[in-house]
Amino acid sequence: MQSILTEIMDIQSIKQRFGIIGNSGGLNRAIEVAVQVAPTDLSVLINGESGTGKEIFPQIIHQYSARKHGPYIAVNCGAIPEGTIDSELFGHEKGAFTGALADRKGYFQEADGGTIFLDEIGELPLSTQVRLLRVLETGEFIKVGSSKVIKTNVRVIAATNVDIPLAIEKNKFREDLYYRLNTVPISILPLRERREDIFLLFRKFARDFAEKYRMPPIALDENSRIVLMNYHWPGNVRQLKNITEQISIIEEKREITTEVLRTYLPNAGSNNLPALVKPSGEKAFNSEREILYQVLFDMKKDMNDLKKLVLDLMHEREGETLHGDHSRIIRKLYTDEGAVPDDIPSKSIHIDPMEKNIQDTEEFVEESLSLEDKEIELITKALEKHKGKRKYAAQELGISERTLYRKIKEYDIKG
């Protein structure tokens, strides 16, 4: 018995088994709570900013529970349209609504004897929250269009990156459901609150990408290591992983200097002072409008950069090379995917080959300033970039999948 317990509590082996990197007190504590709560049937609410690594925790809990041989179903509540979510979760009877040609089992029935992971629980419509509360309290639910009560034995784990108490204040989330779900809370700290994990994660990702792309791993010099550790990482581990991948692919020199590293860190500034820390759960952007303005600003910048690039290339063709260094141009194009280098002037310049005078390209920009047009353009771009995968397109746009779904319908966007 003692040896089993020691084995279960061996955090290092759990990390190895689930591919978790880091050794901060906060991370170890979260793993410890997950393992301790696993054998019970209590509901767990996992809370943490986007990209902190919440998704692995429900799997740990399921694997260390007596339900491990039962089903494990993960549902992204934010990805299911409001009109069909009840039917997806609880099933429907034949003829319950137009198109319901046959009976359908919902996830709560399919997960009987196992675990259901409700990701992005903050996106659940209020009417569905009522049904969920009932299942949690009684183990009973009713299919859409039916009157028959069905029993199920499901353990519920939920995750969210939104501030649920705030959602309760705004009447978007039921308080009773929150308390019921939050029987055991697990908080995953943002990276900036567990800085000792940053370098360990970077080193692991650098090795993984070196293997994947068959190149030597990138390494940081001492100063760039400090910059990396002091950066505020708004996108947390996901952002660190993406940036490590970008640098691994793009940079030829494998020793990464501060100057190069900064070009990959948006808003890193020219100092490496610790960033202002926001309370956990608070998002960098508060409203869709803010996100839209930010994206518009970035797009305008991209457009000007692109114009400059085209001009440069034209000049090169004419034998009048303005930028001989191609690799730099390519690197900039890549970094524009995610990171905005901080060495680019906020206004691009247009160089007239004949007169050699410098003008602001903004004079030539004639663009639609309709927010709706821009929204359509951005959504289309994001969908194209992510090959129609709405989850990633929504992430990039900084909106929920449901909002994206609604907008696609509203604007009749083909994607």
Ligand X SMILES: Nc1ncnc2c1ncn2[C@@H]1O[C@H](COP(=O)(O)OP(=O)(O)OP(=O)(O)O)[C@@H](O)[C@H]1O
Between 228 and 237, CB nearer to Mg ion: 237
Contact 158, 121 (CB under 8 A): yes
Angle, in degrees to the nearest 10, between helices 25-37 and 2-9? 140
When CB distances to Mg ion are compared, the closest residue is 55
User: Which parts of 48-67 interact with ligand X (CB under 6 A)?
Assistant: 48, 50-56
Nearer to ligand X, 59 or 109 (CB): 59
Q: Strand order of the sheet with strand 155-160? A: 72-76, 115-119, 155-160, 44-47, 184-187
Binding piece for ligand X, criterion CB under 6 A, among 13-21, 99-107, 285-293, 334-342: 13-21
* CA 171 distance to own-chain centroid: 25
Nearer of residues 241 and 332 to ligand X, judged by Cβ: 241
Stretch that binds ligand X, among 1-9, 32-40, 169-177, 235-243 (CB under 6 A): 235-243
Q: How far is the CB of 384 from Mg ion (least distance, A)?
A: 23
Contact between 400 and ligand X (CB under 6 A)?
no
Q: Is 270 helix (H, G, I), strand (E, B) or coil?
A: coil
Measured between alpha carbons, how far is 362 from 341 in angstroms, rounded to an integer? 20
Q: With contacts defined by CB under 6 A, how many residues of the chain interact with ligand X?
A: 17
Q: Which two tokens stand for residue 15?
A: 């990390």
Nearer to Mg ion, 51 or 114 (CB): 51
Of 51 and 341, nearer to ligand X (C-beta) is: 51
Beta strands of 55-204 (E only): which ranges?
Answer: 72-76, 115-119, 140-142, 149-151, 155-160, 184-187
User: Rule CB under 6 A: is residue 78 a binding residue for ligand X?
Assistant: no
- Smallest gap from Cβ 208 to ligand X, in A, equals 10
Distance CA 404, CA 391 (A): 9
Out of ligand X, Mg ion, none, what residue 50 binds, judged by CB under 5 to 8 A for its kind, is: ligand X
**Six token digits for residue 134:** 């009932």
Question: 143, 241, 262, 308: which one contacts ligand X (CB under 6 A)?
Answer: 241
Does position 341 interact with ligand X (CB under 6 A)? The reply is: no
Residue 393 CA: distances (Å) to CA of 403, 404, 415: 11, 8, 11
Binding mask 112-151 for ligand X (x = CB under 6 A): ----------------------------------------
Q: According to the binding rule CB under 6 A, does residue 157 interact with ligand X?
A: no
CB-closest chain residue to ligand X: 53
**Nearest distance in Å: CB 214, ligand X:** 21
For the bound state, the minimum distance from the C-beta of residue 55 to Mg ion, rounded and expressed in Å, comes to 5
- 214/187 Cα distance (integer angstroms): 36
Cα–Cα distance list, 189 to 138, 255, 340 (Å): 33, 30, 26
> In this chain, which of 115, 161, 224, 244 binds ligand X, going by CB under 6 A?
161
Q: In whole angstroms, what is the distance from residue 43 CA to residue 183 CA?
A: 6
Pairing of strands 358-360, 349-351: antiparallel
At its nearest, how many Å lie between Mg ion and the CB of residue 272?
29
User: CA 377: distance to chain centroid?
Assistant: 22
Helix (H) or strand (E) holding 205: helix 196-213
* Residue 237 contact, options Mg ion, ligand X, none, Cβ 5-8 Å cut-off depending on partner type: ligand X
- From 35, 60, 237, 265, residue interacting with ligand X (rule: CB under 6 A): 237
Report angle CA 180, 183, 184 to the nearest 5 degrees: 150
Nearest CB to Mg ion, comparing residues 52 and 248: 52
Quick check: 141 and 150 in contact, CB under 8 A?
yes
Residues between 30 and 69 with contacts to Mg ion, criterion CB under 5 A: 55
- Rounded CA separation 134/149 (Å): 11
Stretch that binds ligand X, among 237-245, 294-302, 326-334, 385-393 (CB under 6 A): 237-245
Positions 14 through 53 that interact with ligand X (CB under 6 A): 19-22, 48, 50-53
Alpha carbon separation from 154 to 75, 118, 145, 168, 366 (Å, rounded): 14, 12, 22, 25, 57
Residues that bind ligand X (CB under 6 A): 19-22, 48, 50-56, 161, 201, 237-238, 241
Residues that bind Mg ion (CB under 5 A): 55
